[in-house]
Structure 1
Amino acid sequence: MTTLITGGAGFIGSALALRLIASEKKVRILDNFSPQIHSKAELNHALKGHVELVVADIRDRDALKGALQGVTEIIHLAAETGTGQSMYEIDRYFNVNVQGTAVLLDLLQNDQCAQSLKSIVVASSRAVYGEGAYECSIHGVQYPTERTAEKMSQGAFDPVCAHCGLKLTLLPTSESAPFMPMSFYGLTKQVQEQAVLLYAKTRGINGFGLRYQNVYGPGQSLKNPYTGILAVFSNLARQNLDIDIYEDGLESRDFVYIDDIVDATVKSVSYAENFVGPLNVGSGVAVDVRHVAEEIKSYFASNSNIKVTGAYRMGDIRHNVADISQISNLLGFDPQVQFKEGLKNFLDWASEHEAVDGSGYLKSVTELASRGLMRNS
């Protein structure tokens, strides 16, 4: 039983590999060690000598063909991540996420690779929903379209009813919500997910599109300024630099701890019954961004100034919280780590690593602003 993890040297992949090794599975990792994510091109030290490593890009057909030999399970994580960067690195995001997945599926379909394949899991994203589910007290459940620059420039950040203009109430978003991605990243994840699930259905094997919410925890990249506000805020707080918060600071996210992500993914790839479809993987709890910044500042006893700037990024959503009832019913998934505990675990770990200077973060903000994707209210 060999499990291939594409993108397996990254944050989620490394944690998954460790869990699978502990259960005595044979693990093969394919990763290109992207400099934006990895400080150096080497495996987590705990994985060395315990996994087979293929250093290659997911689009490298020959390398991927070799990596697929004898594989019985695939966990497909290889992708470019980050909504903001995707709004201008459009070709790169489609090339890696969509074309890379196409190469994988084409090899599986046409080159007699992984003939004993029983299950394929793809890391999808809550970004496929866009804003997701809300409710109007008069007109019921709605799935708002993207917020306009005109409204946000006036400080009106909350989605409103399309019929009466009343402020909407956030609801947990279920898998039945329509696809409404509001970033090119979200669109590429939608295509990835649908392609993998179509392949699984056609071949008659299990296929899971795991719609991860905002994943965090020890081991995540502290140097990638395009993803992970916990990493960005912790770097700034440790250097007593200003922590700029977009909009009014009340925007919220469903933060899900890495151990819970691993648990859900292992349960999926090992599922003994038959299933093809998407599943939300989250905590089911929304936490606002200002609260996150305040907790991080407090932990480090930082002198950072938390600045609620009113600035906003095109392609961002206002809130998200996952309905996790389906994965709970199907797999018995029950998130174990609450945000307060998980955040402490992350910050304890981050404290053991040198803070990354703010130049990368400032560069990412400048890139967005120069393209009209970061604006001030």
Structure 2
Amino acid sequence: IRKVVVASSMSVYGEGAYSCNNCGKVYPKIRSLEQFKKNDWEMKCPNCNIDVMPIPTDEDKPLFPTSIYAVSKRDHEEMFLIIGRAYQIPTVALRFFNVYGPRQALSNPYTGVAAIFSSRLMNDKPPIIFEDGNQARDFIHVSDIVQACILAIEKSEGDYQVFNVGTGRKLSVLDVANVLMDKLSFKGEPQIVNRFREGDIRHCYADISLIKKILGYEPKVKFEDGIIDLVNWVKLQKAEDKVNFAIDILDKKGLTK
């Protein structure tokens, strides 16, 4: 084994980094049930309790996984880095942000929102959006993920380090839904349910300054171009919509509020 590149995830952070007008940079962890009952979706400062604004999240942000998936990703990257150091096997952990693009599983209701929304639209159904739709993510085209993996393999400067792989740009989930509805010629409106799923975060987008500096990574595909690439592929596929089935399971297990 000459090198290992671990596919980790932005989910290890839980919530992203935020800026408070009173307290500066802060790391709020979770929102309260009382907030959800009032449809108050935004994060609060953990010190003074005012609304805070999302800022780019760097690799030094304390990890606070909010799902079993996120815990498994955190443990995954830590185990590989420990084993790599112990056996002198160069290892790099890449924290992928929200990946989209051709060949994403369209019939898996637990994949990324771009694929989930596309599956709904291909079945002439509106995208279902939790909370108010303004939650922000960093959407990165799969070809830029490939670029990051190749750089991590080829460049020794990144050995035994952890890197964010994103674009550094935040987009709301509602914006993504609206773009897909336009490109797939859907005439209705998204279904905004004003409900919360356990484990969901409000905002997180990448600070990519470290991977740019160390590995020379530079995202090449703008969302406006990458989404057309996805749509052109989606139009040639058959997608089975299983979103309502997945939501029913969450409801029965008490994981939606």
Same fold (TM over 0.5): yes
Contact 2:92 2:158 in 1 (8 A): no
Q: 1:275 aligned to 148, 156, 159, which one?
A: 159
CA RMSD of aligned residues (A): 1.2
> How high is the TM-score relative to the length of structure 1?
0.66
In the other structure, the counterpart of 2:49 is 165
Aligned equivalents of 1:304, 1:208: Cα separation in 2: 44
Contact 1:240 1:303 in 2 (8 A): no
In the other structure, the counterpart of 1:368 is 250
In the other structure, the counterpart of 1:140 is 24
In the other structure, the counterpart of 2:170 is 286
1:274 positional shift: 6.2
Aligned residue identity for 1:372: G
Contact 2:95 2:162 in 1 (8 A): yes
Aligned equivalents of 2:189, 2:23: Cα separation in 1: 41
Aligned ranges 1:19-98 → 2 under 5 Å: none
SS of the residue corresponding to residue 161 of structure 2 reads: strand
Contact 2:158 2:215 in 1 (8 A): no
More displaced, 305-314 or 325-334?
Answer: 305-314
Aligned equivalents of 1:241, 1:134: Cα separation in 2: 35
1:271 positional shift: 1.8
Contact 1:240 1:304 in 2 (8 A): no
Q: 2:68 aligned to 161, 184, 196, which one?
A: 184
Is 1:199 aligned to 2:83, yes or no? yes
SS of the residue corresponding to residue 188 of structure 2 reads: coil
Aligned ranges 1:286-365 → 2 under 5 Å: 286-356=170-240, 358=241, 360-365=242-247
Q: Structure 1 residues 274 and 146, CA, compared in 2 at 3 Å: closer, same or farther?
A: closer
Q: 1:231 aligned to 90, 110, 115, which one?
A: 115
1:273 positional shift: 4.1
1:229 positional shift: 1.1
Return 5+ residue gaps in structure 1 as ranges.
Answer: 1-116
Aligned residue identity for 2:253: R
Contact 2:144 2:220 in 1 (8 A): yes
1:140 positional shift: 1.2
1:304 positional shift: 3.3
SS of the residue corresponding to residue 201 of structure 1 reads: helix
Aligned equivalents of 2:169, 2:219: Cα separation in 1: 11
In the other structure, the counterpart of 1:264 is 148
1:171 positional shift: 0.9
Aligned equivalents of 1:321, 1:345: Cα separation in 2: 22
1:149 positional shift: 2.2
Aligned equivalents of 1:132, 1:245: Cα separation in 2: 20
Aligned equivalents of 2:143, 2:239: Cα separation in 1: 24
In the other structure, the counterpart of 1:40 is none
Aligned residue identity for 2:244: L
SS of the residue corresponding to residue 256 of structure 1 reads: strand
Q: Which runs of 4+ in 1 moved over 4 A?
A: none
- How many percent of aligned residue pairs carry the same amino acid? 35
Residue by residue, what CA displacement relative to the aligned partner does 1:131-159 show, whole Å, maximum 9, x if unpaired? 02111111111111111222112111111
Q: Structure 1 residues 186 and 320, CA, compared in 2 at 3 Å: closer, same or farther?
A: same
Residue by residue, what CA displacement relative to the aligned partner does 1:184-210 show, whole Å, maximum 9, x if unpaired? 111110000000011111122321110
Aligned pair count reads: 257
Q: Which has the higher contact order (CA 8 A, sep 6+)?
A: 2
Q: 2:128 aligned to 236, 241, 244, which one?
A: 244
Q: Structure 1 residues 268 and 240, CA, compared in 2 at 3 Å: closer, same or farther?
A: same
Aligned residue identity for 2:16: G
In the other structure, the counterpart of 1:218 is 102
Aligned residue identity for 2:197: R
Contact 1:243 1:304 in 2 (8 A): no
Return 5+ residue gaps in structure 2 as ranges.
Answer: none
